[in-house]
Amino acid sequence: MSGPQKRKSRGASGSGARALGVRVKTAKGRKVSSTRWLERQLNDPYVQAAKREGYRSRAAYKLLAIDEKHDLLKRGDVVVDLGAAPGGWSQVAVRKVADEGMVVALDLQEIEPIPGVTTLQADFMEDEGLARLRVELGDRKADIVLSDMAAPATGHKQTDHLRIMALCEAALDFAEEILAPEGRFLAKVLQGGTERDLLDRLRRNFRSVRHVKPEASRSDSAELYVLATGYRGGS
């Protein structure tokens, strides 16, 4: 697998000594939280790997890990990436599906062009967004719907959980409109798992449902992903 998972830091002598991390001084006018975020970014091996390997975000390695373990993305797939900006997941997807496949990325923000990817600045929760996607798909249906969306954190655990679950449910509503039979759905949730009503719905409509946490998810992060495969609808 590409990325930092298989690499170990070694000292200049080759003895295997642990590399020293970068420390960031708190500058005047910069919050302590901002300094900690910057320090974490500078020392994050996935951030470094993303820059080195041309991915737009460290999130690319989450999808790469899930794909490697669960054989998620297949050559020739039609992929819809919701909340796709800045485009790291779409970059992974377009490389996996190759020329026979198709990747459509949607986001409220404008997405810088990605070779081989159709980008739409659209709200997937509005009828117009769905209509624009259907125009792009033509007579094809999606083999997989991806969602790495997360609502801005409030710091209140219960509120944040409810907001991200609402996004996941909206993504599933959308997926059920466009997925082909045996299609797949991958969406971000938070630890504590998928709420029972949504989990029951997924189990009714897909043959297999599981939670996955890729190695690239930070250890202090509550994020988790729900992966559903074998869509029973779509006819």
Does residue 188 carry a catalytic annotation? yes
Provide the residue type at 40 as one letter.
Answer: R
Q: For 154, list phi and psi in degrees, rounded to 5.
A: -100, -20
Sign of CA dihedral 36, 39, 41, 45: negative
| Tokens at 171, concatenated | 């993504």
Question: Which own/partner contact pairs does 217-224 have at CB distance under 8 Å and 24+ positions apart?
Answer: 217/62, 222/157, 222/190, 222/191, 222/192, 223/150, 223/188, 223/189, 223/190, 223/191, 224/188, 224/189, 224/190, 224/191, 224/193
Among the listed residues 51, 96, 188, 213, the single catalytic one is: 188
CB 188 within 8 A of CB 146: no
Residue (of 214, 222, 226) closest to 5 by Cα position: 214
CA–CA separation, 226 and 189 (whole Å)? 7
Residues marked as catalytic: 188
